[in-house]
Structures are given as C-alpha cells and as structure tokens.
Amino acid sequence: MFAYLDNAATTRVWPQAAQAAQAEMTAGFGNPSARYAFGQEAARRLQGYRETVARALGCLPEEVYFTSCGTEGDNWAIRAGAEQGRRRGKHIITTAIEHAAVLESLKALEAQGWTVTRLKPDRRGHVHPEDLSAALREDTALVSIMLVNNELGSLQPVAECARLTKAFSRDILFHTDAVQAFGKVPFTPEGMGVDLLTVSGHKIGAPKGIGVQYIRKGLRMPPFLLGGGQEGGLRSGTEPTAQIAALAAACAIWEERGRDFRDHMAQLKAIALRELQARVPGLEVIAGGDAPHICAVSLPGYPSEMLVRALSDRGVCVSSGSACHKGKPSHVFAALGLPKRTLMGALRISFSPESTEADVEALVEGLAAIQRDRVGA
C-alpha cells in the first residue's frame, strides 16, 4: 500500500461509481438518441443522472451540461466570453492564480487583440473584491474567478465578486472554475450569482473524462461542439452514459456524506500541519487552505521535484504543485511573492474522504527521514 496524498490531482473512483459505469457499458449500452425502447431506456436513465447531479450542484437539471472535463468547461466559458465581447468589448478580468485551462485560453485571446487583467492575490492566496471593482470597464465582457485554488486551497470571494460585476453591468458574463470546490465547500451557483460554473468528475471519485458545465437558465451560450444536437444543441456528441452514471453515483455519495467527508479531511489536514511543523525542522506552511482538502508547505533548500521523488521512493504521493505544470515552478506559488528558496521547495498535500492518519504519518516520517538522510550525508 502507498500513501496517496495527491487528491487534488485526481481521486480513486468510488466502487459504486465504477459499478454504475459498468452497468451502462454492458447491460444498458444503448444510445440515448435511438428511438427504440432500448435507447429510450438509456435516455430515461440519463435524465435521472442529470437530476442527481443537479441536486448535488444545487441547480436545475436543464442547467447541467455534461462535458468531458474541467478543461473543456473552462475553455467553453472563455469562448462564451469572447462571443459576448462582440457586443461589449475585448476586455476580460481573471486572477493570476487560475488553472492553466483558463490562463492558456486567455493567452490565445490576447494573441487576437484582447486585453486581460489578472488580479493579484495577497500573501494568503486571496484576491480582493476592491481590486475587481477597480478593474471593471465599459468594455469588460467576462470575469472568470475560481472558487477554490488548486494549489493553495484558498477560497475566493466569488459571490461578492459576482455581485459587484452584475451591479456594474448585468451584461458581463461571470464564470467560476469550481473544479476544486465541488463537494469540498458548500455552494450553489444561484446563491453565488454566477452565470457559468465548471466542475470535473475525477476530483470527486468519478472517472476521468466527465465534467459538468452549469449554464444559468436563460443565458444564451455559443455551442461548444456542433453535431447531432445533444445537450440542448450546445454540446453535441453521443452522451458518455457510463461516465455520467458514475458521476451521478459519486454526486449521490457526496450529497449524502459530504459534511462528514469535509470534517474528516479538515481534521486530517490539521493533524498533518501540526505534525509536519513539530517534526520536520525548517518546514514552512505556505497555505493552510480554506478548503478542507488542500494545503501547501515548503522545505526551503530542498528542490520540490527531489522531495516528490524521495517521498515516492517511500511510497508517498504528493505534488510539487499542480500536476499540470510538469516540473515548471508553479505560477500560483510565484504569484504569492514567496522567497525563491521557499518557492523551490514547495509541496502540495491534498486529501480525500479515504485518506487516513496512516497516510499522514507516512508523509511526516518520510519528510523527516529525507531531512535526516541529508544532514547525515
């Protein structure tokens, strides 16, 4: 067994979710668009899954659009902003700590003449509504601010930012990337006042390859994929019923047990931070994380890639930042203005409902041993 503490990268699929997927792939493999009874049964089940997901998200079933992943949802939201820009102008506001799925989409728009304002976070990883107010312009078409940051666990003031944006102009689209927030912090899209919200299944125990885009009822959205007209004509493509069934199963589990899961993860994180600081001399906490499942620490003087490898040798999986960065220093940690030594030794630790105290002990003992080995060398 190994200690898996990289649940912000991906999670193990719940057995119930895997079983639901298997049933759709074998017994119930019909195409929901087919007119005969076998296909229509698949369509009926699909509607049931949509209702389950909508309940967990706190929205209407017709506001749920199944996508392939969080990256797709973020790309779609930025594309919608660009479409909106035809009417309002070519300015977008985001934060300096968004996921690459948002930031790279925006870079592509900048190359086409758009202007992007990136709000800077404070030292604890929070952006401030006053900075958003100061950045809003007559030509602003879209605001995209994530709900929970994937490397720091910091919760952004999305509801307040959406309120300010809509008070400035109801025509500005507001998108939030809730990939790391869904299940981990309670929210509803309507309660926050957002137009678009992005979720990914593989962060909550559904398989990779399924996501949800919440699109507020009444909002006119450009389609993402053209074709057979599935998902209300906005996202064509035969529905991946197996992944959707698994996502619905995962949503049902989180809906029923979410509060206990959050308490469990928060408790483990508190133990981890306490023990790491007590037993690993020199360790710094970069971010305790508002969300229960993510925190970031640093062991200055130890390159994080080396720490990740050495921990891996001891059977412990953590990340040197977002798994999407592939060895480059994280733009998120860099945006905090950390000293270089702290930045270079940064590690992200992330929990799931299945994480245990034994996982935490393996991590703490692993880091302490790496340090002892180096001092002794």
Name the residues that contact ligand PLP, by CB under 6 A. 69-71, 74, 99, 101, 146, 150, 177, 179-180, 200, 202, 211
Comparison of 10 and 31: residue with beta carbon closer to ligand PLP: 10
* CB 35, min distance to ligand PLP, A: 33
Q: Which residue is nearest to ligand PLP (CB)?
A: 70
DSSP string over 114-139: -EEEEEPP-TTS---HHHHHHH--TT
Using CA of residue 75, residue 155, residue 3, residue 323, what is the dihedral sign? positive
> Least distance in Å: CB of 210 to ligand PLP?
8
- Whole-number minimum distance, CB 190 to ligand PLP, in Å? 21
Residue spans of alpha helices (H) in 66-119 = 70-88, 100-110
Residue with smaller CB distance to ligand PLP, 46 or 210: 210
In whole angstroms, how close is the CB of 101 to ligand PLP at the nearest point?
5
**Residue 275 to residue 258: CA distance in whole angstroms:** 26
Q: Amino acid identity of 296?
A: A
Measured in Å, how far apart are the chain's first and last C-alpha atoms?
29
Nearer to ligand PLP, 150 or 241 (CB): 150
**Owner of token pair 């979710």:** 17
Q: Please give the Cα distance from 44 to 46 (Å, whole number).
A: 5
Q: Are 94 and 103 in contact (CB under 8 A)?
A: yes
The catalytic residue among 59, 69, 161, 324 is 324
Cβ of residue 18: shortest distance to ligand PLP, in angstroms?
Answer: 18
Strands (E) located in 164-260: 173-177, 196-200, 211-215
Q: Of all helices (H) and strands (E), which one includes residue 285?
A: strand 284-287
- Nearer to ligand PLP (CB atom), residue 144 or residue 165: 144
Query: Taking the complex as a whole, how short is the minimal distance between the CB of residue 198 and ligand PLP, in angstroms?
Result: 7
Provide the sign of the torsion angle of the four alpha carbons 65, 177, 148, 279, taken in this order. Answer: positive
**DSSP per-residue letters across 308-322:** HHHHHHTTEE-BSS-
CB of 70 to ligand PLP, least distance (A): 3
**Spatial CA neighbour of 108 closest among 142, 147, 79, 141:** 79
Q: Which is nearer to ligand PLP, 210 or 338 (CB)?
A: 210
Q: Which is nearer to ligand PLP, 352 or 371 (CB)?
A: 352
Helix axes 241-279, 15-25, angle to 10 degrees: 160
135-140 long-range contacts, CB within 8 A, separation 24+: 135/93, 136/93, 136/164, 136/165, 136/168, 136/169, 136/172, 137/89, 137/91, 138/88, 138/89, 139/88, 139/89, 139/90, 139/91, 140/88, 140/89, 140/91, 140/92, 140/93, 140/168, 140/169, 140/172
Measured in degrees and rounded to the nearest 5, phi and psi for residue 136 equal -65, 135
Q: Is 324 a catalytic residue?
A: yes
**Nearest to ligand PLP of 71, 140 (CB atom):** 71
List residues with catalytic annotation.
Answer: 324
